[in-house]
Amino acid sequence: MNSGLIKKIEDKSCVVGIVGLGYVGIPLMLRFVEAGFSVVGFDIDQDKVDVLNSGRSPIEHIPSAAIASAIDSGFKAVCGFEGVREADALILCVPTPLNKYREPDISCIISTVDGIVPHLRAGQLVSLESTTYPGTTEEELLPRMQSSGLRVGTDVFLVFSPEREDPGNPDYTTRTIPKVCGGVTPACSEVGCALYGMVIDKVVPVSSTRAAEMTKLLENIHRAINIGLVNEMKIVADKMGIDIHEVIRAAATKPFGFVPYYPGPGLGGHCIPIDPFYLTWKAREFGVHTRFIELAGEVNSSMPEWVVQKIIQALNDRGMAVKGARVLVLGVAYKKNVDDMRESPAIRLMELLKARGAILEYSDPHVPEFRCDHSQTSFSDLKSVPLTSEIISDFDLLLLTTNHDRFDYSLIKENAKLIVDTRGVFSGALPNVVKA
């Protein structure tokens, strides 16, 4: 059966279904359309489906023109799982957050698979791209697919291929980022690699879905640990009166044995603050306590509190208290030049400052209106403040949390009474700048 599906993939008669139309699903959809495949998108958010079908993009860094072009090429989005049976390949790109106990929440994966299983037919490929703990594909997806009576590896095919999107990164695209792929069986892996090989420049096959799942976690845990290290180094350097950003720039001139990582106000985004917990949770099943990973998590999660203490000290040095101070937060996206607020450390900083009585507003050219979830309702009425010399000088303190390129840093430096810089934007000793 896999030879028939591979033939459809190679002659591009294969219909691709993307389940989950977000920061991962939409770029993947665009790449398959660009390569000449017929693509259908599935999402449970009717508003998002309507936006896409009207030719508009729900994500800032993805132009609406690209969505409109995909529509012209035959792409359509549907709400729910209607039409799943017509797709030859189903790629699942659904969120995998943590629950309130900081444990993996794969409920979106489970509900999605439960939704598509009744529509499965022979000759289909299912690929999971959502970051998760090793064993998810075999322990959760495999038995559900087999419950349909179809034999995985013979009738239908199952792979895990972790997403590697980096929103806002101009140097890498969906096509140029190598794609790891592991199948439940060799036949599954063959089909998965064939599909991704049609749209990705380099496919990296691994021996199993577990190996592919662990690969994604290693990539992000590697970053989390190194960021934790440099955040701890920042605290030590600050105590010693040393500019950690100057040190990193100097160390980065070594042509071997050193990779620069940069400190900040905490971790943000959909991967780095979350993925390590997926492995630590699963490791406990095997009696392993991941002390190194958890220590890095403790350091990174403590950074907002450390920044707040720097703010308190900076205001005290000027005879002011946090309570009643007017604070303008510069950047609420989790990283520069994107509109993604997921797990942004700026939000935690705002919560901490508000609890201490600060009066908060924010400015972010990528986030015109504060998009809140259940933990951020106290800021739901905020809108981005434009940066003018008059507005800047009206605040007691500017807290730089996200170093967007669109900020006018000269204007900020010249007009701000006090700046707390968590990103190392302002170099040298400046009377109105505190490094944090």
Q: How far apart are CA 180 and CA 161, in angstroms?
A: 6
Same domain? 166 vs 42: yes
Backbone φ and ψ for 408, nearest 5 degrees, come out as -90, 95
Same domain? 154 vs 82: yes
Same domain? 233 vs 202: no
Please give the pLDDT value at position 374: 46
What are the structure tokens assigned to 219, written together? 């990539």
Q: What is the pLDDT of residues 13-33, one digit of tens each?
A: 999 999 999 999 999 999 999
The answer to whether residue 1 scores a pLDDT higher than 70 is: no
Same domain? 239 vs 370: yes
In-domain check, residue 218: no
* Mean residue pLDDT across the chain: 94
- Give me the mean pLDDT over the 287-310 stretch: 94
Considering 14, 188, 193, 271, which one is annotated as catalytic? 271
In-domain check, residue 72: yes
In-domain check, residue 221: no
Q: What is the pLDDT of residues 57-76, one digit of tens each?
A: 999 989 999 999 999 999 99
What per-residue string of b and e applies to 327-356 under the rule 16 or more CB within 10 Å gives b?
bbbbbbbbbebbbbbbbbbbbbbbbbbeee
Q: How far apart are CA 420 and CA 294, in angstroms?
A: 28
Same domain? 190 vs 237: no
Q: Report the domain count for the chain.
A: 2
Same domain? 133 vs 57: yes
- Which amino acid appears at position 17 of this protein? G
* 3-state secondary structure at position 330: strand
Same domain? 147 vs 251: no
Cβ-contact 265, 422 below 8 angstroms: yes
User: Would residue 271 show up in a list of annotated catalytic residues for this protein?
Assistant: yes
The answer to whether residue 376 scores a pLDDT higher than 60 is: no
pLDDT band at residue 169, thresholds of 50, 70 and 90? Answer: confident
Beta bridge partners of 204: 180
Q: How far apart are CA 302 and CA 248, in angstroms?
A: 21
Given 143, 172, 207, which residue is the final one in a domain? 207
Q: Across 269-273, 281-285, 390-394, which has the greatest mean pLDDT?
A: 390-394
In-domain check, residue 260: yes
* 3-state secondary structure at position 180: strand
Place of tokens 């179809």: 150
Which of these, 298, 28, 388, 315, lies nearest to 174 by C-alpha position?
28
DSSP code of 104?
B
From residue 103, alpha-carbon distances to 5, 70, 129, 223, 351 in Å are: 37, 37, 19, 20, 22
Same domain? 158 vs 234: no
Per this entry, what is the length of the chain?
436
What is the residue range of 412's domain? 227-435
Q: Between the CA atoms of 18, 183, 292 and 304, what dihedral angle is there, to the nearest 10 degrees?
A: 0
Q: How far apart are CA 80 and CA 116, in angstroms?
A: 9
- Report the share of the chain in percent with pLDDT over 90: 88
Same domain? 233 vs 197: no
CATH number at residue 317: 3.40.50.720
- Report the share of the chain in percent with pLDDT over 70: 98
Same domain? 236 vs 203: no
Same domain? 199 vs 246: no
